[in-house]
Structure 1
Amino acid sequence: MDAKSFVLKGDICFNATPQEVVCVPSGYAVCVDGVSAGVFAELPEEFAVLPLIDCGDNLIIPGMTDLHIHAPQYAFRGLGMDLELLDWLDTHTFPEEAHYADLDYAGRAYDIFADDLRRSATTRAVVFGTLHVEATELLMDKLEASGITSYVGKVNMDRNGGVDLEEDTEQSAADTRRWLADVDGRYEHTAPIITPRFTPSVTDELMGELASIRDEFGLPVQSHLSENLSECGWVKELCPWSSCYGDAYDHFGMLGDRTVMAHCVYSDETETELLRSTGTYVAHCPQSNAQLSSGIAPVRRYLDLDMNVGLGTDVAGGANLSMFRCMADAVAVSKLRWRLVDDDLAPLTTQEALWLATAGGGSFFGRVGSFAEGYEFDALVLDDSAIRTPRELDVWERVERYVYLAEEGGRLVHKFVSGREINLS
């Protein structure tokens, strides 16, 4: 469905700031040509002629952005969760991603991924593919058909990938250019993103080539940073010239406000300042960091420094697509860090977790993740009537409860991306 103009009526909630939510019971969220015209307790006369979708007592919140997810790993989600990151990569991830040289397998796997993502609460996503050009284009085709808005990357890796998942340096750069030529002008809602897997998989020579391609095509970048202690030590060996792991990217100009770095669990003061000063986005992936024994990122520090931060499910390090689970995990691990690691960093509030999932990560796509006037109209309509309680709850209490109990009876009724309704059937 094309972007259009309409009004949603229901119990509305969105963030005004990371710490403050706006709740409007029986309110009106107005969409004009795919853009929010604001939220109102009473519908202004000028919008009375627009089609009204009466959502009754359902909740209406902004759409959610998954800043970091691996599409090819969706096939083995829930497996290998007892392993540490590097062992998990060697045992499960790299062998699985090698299968995507087979387009028949890739098609079957990406059909499942795109279909499940379409039905989820995610309205926008920043997605890793594999190093295979044809499979990555197939993934982009399927995500475009799903209706969500996404960035998708052909992965680059010319070292430490093993026999079946390692590219020749020159061929990797050439294949990236071929991929970009193939997808140029092909999609309306799906765009390419430069994707060096992480420093241990990318030589300095290839990183320099990718930086040149990024500059030539004006593209964003995604990768991983300071996820795991073993990984950080490995980078020191591979790049002894760097002042920190982040410098191994910044040396090539790969950091900036169009770059997403996943994890940042062990970013020291030097690296944190580098991320802050360049405006680089941090994709916090709490479930993955716990399950792969990586640690707990200091998200409170990043918020206090007014850095760009959002949430990522990091499937299959994270076991599912649920951004609600991601929000709940972000709050939970921040409490553990506060209690066990650093009592100077207060835990996240649920209001802040909602902001990370909506406006925090959404800003990577522009004015996204809020119902404030001028934002692209991404919205979720949630039915929480089957989550039973004898209590009378206000709008925020219902949203807070939904974060934790979405799978206990919550139902996604409508999903809009830039005013376009996504088919959930």
Structure 2
Amino acid sequence: MTAIAHRAALLHSLADPAEVGLDASYEYHADGLLLVEDGRIQAMGPAAELLPTLPTGTPVIEHPHALITPGFIDTHIHYPQTGMIASYAEQLLDWLDTYTFPTEGAFADPAKAAEVAQVFVGELLRNGTTTALVFGSVHPQSVDAFFEVAERLDLRMIAGKVLMDRNAPDYLQDTAASAYTDSKALIQRWHGKGRLHYAVTPRFAPTSTPEQLEAAGRLLAEHPDVYLHTHLSENLKEIDWVKALFPERANYLDVYDHFQLLGPRSVFAHGIHLCDAECQRLHETGSAVAHCPTSNLFLGSGLFDLERMEAFKVNVGLGTDVGAGTSFSLLQTLGEAYKVQQLRGHRLHPFKSLYLATLGGARALRLDERIGSLAPGHDADFVVLDLKATPLLDFRLQQAKSLEETLFVLTTLGDDRVVRETHAAGRLVHSRDA
């Protein structure tokens, strides 16, 4: 692939602001150059320094009134729920019975799965999301359909077939044995193919028998580089249900721990109502939590304690959690995350927001050597954000006096209209204006 240079303002995270302070947490070039070749970033820095070093004839694409950041990373989302986003909400358990299970039942049809996978991936890219950790349905063909779309576009995506052998409609249940067999076949078919990764995906503890959770642990032991993706402590009634189903376990997380499901590639969605022992265990095992603010507010689940996660040094990524989440946009999701922290008496700084949506998500997925950064050597997954995308955004940013104010305005007023282009492995995969 021919080298191409992109010229615009460049911004990316270097570290977690909670660990290194705000000033050391990011790198910014008001007039920057990003050199891309063979799907990787070859150089980034001030345009004045890099332009004279480019080989003769290197194309330089100018992006006026734009900010380039790493592609956004969504650490928890359900692709079968695309068609039920914005369903009049009840709280979690009733919502599953009323909307989720009937919707996911349709994914027994491969044609339906293929149709929704195409729409779903299109929405991710339109919103600047270049990597996502994705729930399929219980049907193996749902995962095939998603990965087929992602492979064609050379996207770095992670997904898995749902495991669910109790407390769900008969038409959505597998068994411990079939869950193991189907997941193993999907791992062999897709994991490591191109930029694709597999996640063993029990929906949550109440819908898996001990035998199925044991099978999930066996899959992780046999394939140590795959992921574990499930839900944890989203809703108080859910937690009570887990206590009733697993009375011998110390807490909700201990259910997963007992079955050897914690580890550096384990990502637990929500984690709102955790005790100190659970936070400490997440830290000890290198497990991560996906914070899903729009979903948590929409279903009335609770307010995520980000400060506590920072205190226990737990890796945290950001998730849209579509369809309980109400937007594919991580910019809008960050706006809701700010409000959640305000309600907890804590301000979410714009540089922390940038971190959560990019490098923090990459670290939660243990992919920070490949994605989440504009540093040389990383995959060329990046977005071009239009600072004049709407009249209000344009007018408001004319009043901005600092980079952090500009970033905050983007995460408060921004949505899919701000994403002018999305690039994956150096290829243009979405153009708003095309």
TM-score by length of 1: 0.91
Q: Which residue of 305, 312, 318 maps to 1:305?
A: 312
**Unaligned runs of at least 5 residues, structure 2:** none
Residue 59 of structure 1 deviates from its aligned partner by: 1.1
- The aligned counterpart of 2:222 is 216
- The aligned counterpart of 2:198 is 192
- Contact between 2:41 and 2:375, CA under 8 Å: does it hold in 1? no
- The aligned counterpart of 1:274 is 281
- Contact between 1:148 and 1:422, CA under 8 Å: does it hold in 2? no
Residue 35 of structure 1 deviates from its aligned partner by: 3.1
Residue 315 of structure 1 deviates from its aligned partner by: 0.3
Partners of 1:144 and 1:67 lie apart in 2 by 19
Paired positions, count = 413
Deviations 1:229-252 (A, max 9, x none): 011111111111212111111112
- The aligned counterpart of 1:68 is 76
Deviations 1:293-331 (A, max 9, x none): 110111122123332111000001101200001111111
Structure 1 residues 410 and 92: CA distance shift in structure 2, 3 A: closer
Partners of 1:200 and 1:316 lie apart in 2 by 20
- Contact between 1:118 and 1:146, CA under 8 Å: does it hold in 2? no
Residue 157 of structure 1 deviates from its aligned partner by: 0.6
Q: Which residue of 240, 253, 258 maps to 2:247?
A: 240
1:144 is aligned to 2:141: no
Q: Which residue of 6, 17, 24 maps to 1:8?
A: 6
Q: Which residue of 15, 18, 26 maps to 1:17?
A: 15
Deviations 1:253-282 (A, max 9, x none): 211111111000011001000101111111
- Contact between 1:384 and 1:410, CA under 8 Å: does it hold in 2? no
- The equivalences for 1:88-99 within 5 A come to 88-99=95-106
- The aligned counterpart of 2:368 is 366
Residue 200 of structure 1 deviates from its aligned partner by: 0.5
Structure 1 residues 35 and 174: CA distance shift in structure 2, 3 A: same
Partners of 2:102 and 2:341 lie apart in 1 by 33
Task: State the one-letter code of the partner of 2:221.
Answer: D
- The aligned counterpart of 1:384 is 387
- Contact between 2:350 and 2:404, CA under 8 Å: does it hold in 1? no
Q: Mean Cα displacement is larger for which, 394-403 or 155-164?
A: 394-403
- The aligned counterpart of 1:350 is 350
- Contact between 1:130 and 1:155, CA under 8 Å: does it hold in 2? yes
- Contact between 1:118 and 1:147, CA under 8 Å: does it hold in 2? no
- The aligned counterpart of 1:116 is 123
Partners of 2:218 and 2:240 lie apart in 1 by 27
Q: Post-superposition, which runs of at least 4 consecutive aligned residues in structure 1 deviate over 4 A?
A: none
1:43 is aligned to 2:45: no
SS at match of 2:170: coil
- Contact between 1:26 and 1:57, CA under 8 Å: does it hold in 2? no
Q: Which residue of 80, 92, 116 maps to 1:85?
A: 92
Partners of 1:110 and 1:277 lie apart in 2 by 36
Q: Percent identity?
A: 32
Q: Mean Cα displacement is larger for which, 145-154 or 232-241?
A: 145-154
RMSD of the alignment, in Å?
2.1
Residue 96 of structure 1 deviates from its aligned partner by: 0.8
Residue 168 of structure 1 deviates from its aligned partner by: 2.3
Partners of 1:15 and 1:244 lie apart in 2 by 35
- The equivalences for 1:155-194 within 5 A come to 155-183=162-190, 187-194=193-200
- Contact between 1:12 and 1:395, CA under 8 Å: does it hold in 2? no
Partners of 1:97 and 1:117 lie apart in 2 by 19
**Unaligned runs of at least 5 residues, structure 1:** 339-345
1:59 is aligned to 2:62: no
- The aligned counterpart of 1:318 is 325
Structure 1 residues 303 and 41: CA distance shift in structure 2, 3 A: farther
- The aligned counterpart of 1:341 is none
- The aligned counterpart of 1:342 is none
Q: Which residue of 119, 135, 139 maps to 1:128?
A: 135
Deviations 1:210-231 (A, max 9, x none): 1111221231111111111011
Residue 397 of structure 1 deviates from its aligned partner by: 3.0
Structure 1 residues 27 and 67: CA distance shift in structure 2, 3 A: same
Task: State the one-letter code of the partner of 1:16.
Answer: L
Residue 377 of structure 1 deviates from its aligned partner by: 2.9
Deviations 1:7-44 (A, max 9, x none): 22111222233333332211223335403533235333
Partners of 2:81 and 2:306 lie apart in 1 by 25
